[in-house]
Chains A and B, each alone.
Chain A
């Protein structure tokens, strides 16, 4: 899974997405959804691996797709990404637990266990999202 393609692939996989807050109405940060903000938390990572881990899956996918494009041509990553998009839309309502079975099978996550599967079990989560607000947010009414 951790295939390291040719060195030329590297430049495609260095996005430094900021740790910015959700922006709500009128361009002010959304305290309701992402809590109180602190400028230090937005500018500096609080752990050496924060950025690396946040973007890990993204970078892996970019590297794999670009290697695939160079080996098999443009059609291969295009078809795969089309299938990912279709599988990603198979979900239940936002506040319910979706299994993401199709997406996991496509990505090959059904044959591996990692920290996301062991830690932070959503069934043990102490917080419950407010269903009405979550659905309104998803439909863009909020």
Chain B
């Protein structure tokens, strides 16, 4: 499906690179990419795995999206959380999802997590870290539950519990304290919820709600939101002034005489 327009595609990338250097000389700034300073985690339990993420997207020091979805669909049995530049994680996961779908149609089998992992790491290494996507990939296939963490330069780790993003240290502290092998589903969900909450309350780049995704054999529970940790407050009083608060001294009414000059009817083209 590749066309021969690869060179033209690259032209825009090089143009942007040149612009970046020229624009700073004139004194302007390039617009900041929207990042998801984030807390994303994954943990393997007895019959599957749980992925968790917060829902705040930041643009510099401002919250750009209070409820963004960071757990992306890759295939019916594989989901991926993304940290880093929001557009990069979105597009990368969508491309890999499409390629995995084509691949699984070609093989006739359910896709494996190791396939998704290899596709992702080869693509990220090809672009030498310029694609800022740090991912937590997890899924259930014929060989059981698998959890990978993938870094922007293309290195991957296969582990029973992983955290990524700016809140990863806070979340990892919770994991290191309470992780046990072969947990039950409810314990794993509670552990992930607490790890994300630690990231939300201790890291400025993470906030708002907690999303969970539980993947077991034949069943995926996408719980969005699982826990609204930061509900916006409700105003307790009304701050509007009642009618009559300001006394009226004088009142003059001027009638504006408008005469109808022309009346046209334009019918909508609903064909």
Contacts and interface: CB of A to CB of B under 8 A. Distances in A.
Interface of A: 1-2, 45-50, 52-54, 56-57, 100, 104, 107, 109-120, 122
Interface in B44-98: 91, 95, 98
Contacts of B98: 113
* In the A-B complex, the 3 residue pairs with the closest CB atoms: A47-B17, A2-B122, A109-B2
A49 B2 contact: no
Contacts of A118: 91, 95
| Consensus secondary structure, chain B interface | helix
B102 interface: yes
A111 B103 contact: yes
A48 to B, nearest CB: 7
A117 B106 CA distance: 19
B1 A50 contact: no
B13 interface: yes
Given A113-B99, A120-B12, 11 more contacts: A1-B122, A45-B14, A46-B17, A50-B13, A53-B10, A104-B1, A111-B103, A113-B98, A116-B2, A117-B2, A120-B9
Given A117-B1, A120-B8, A48 B130 contact: yes
A127 to B, nearest CB: 10
B9 A116 contact: yes
Interface string B1-34: 1111111111011110110000000000000000
A82 to B, nearest CB: 20
11 contacts: A47-B13, A47-B17, A49-B127, A56-B126, A109-B1, A111-B102, A111-B106, A113-B1, A113-B102, A115-B95, A117-B3
B96 to A, nearest CB: 9
B230 interface: no
Nearest to B125: A2
B115 interface: no
B128 interface: yes
A63 to B, nearest CB: 13
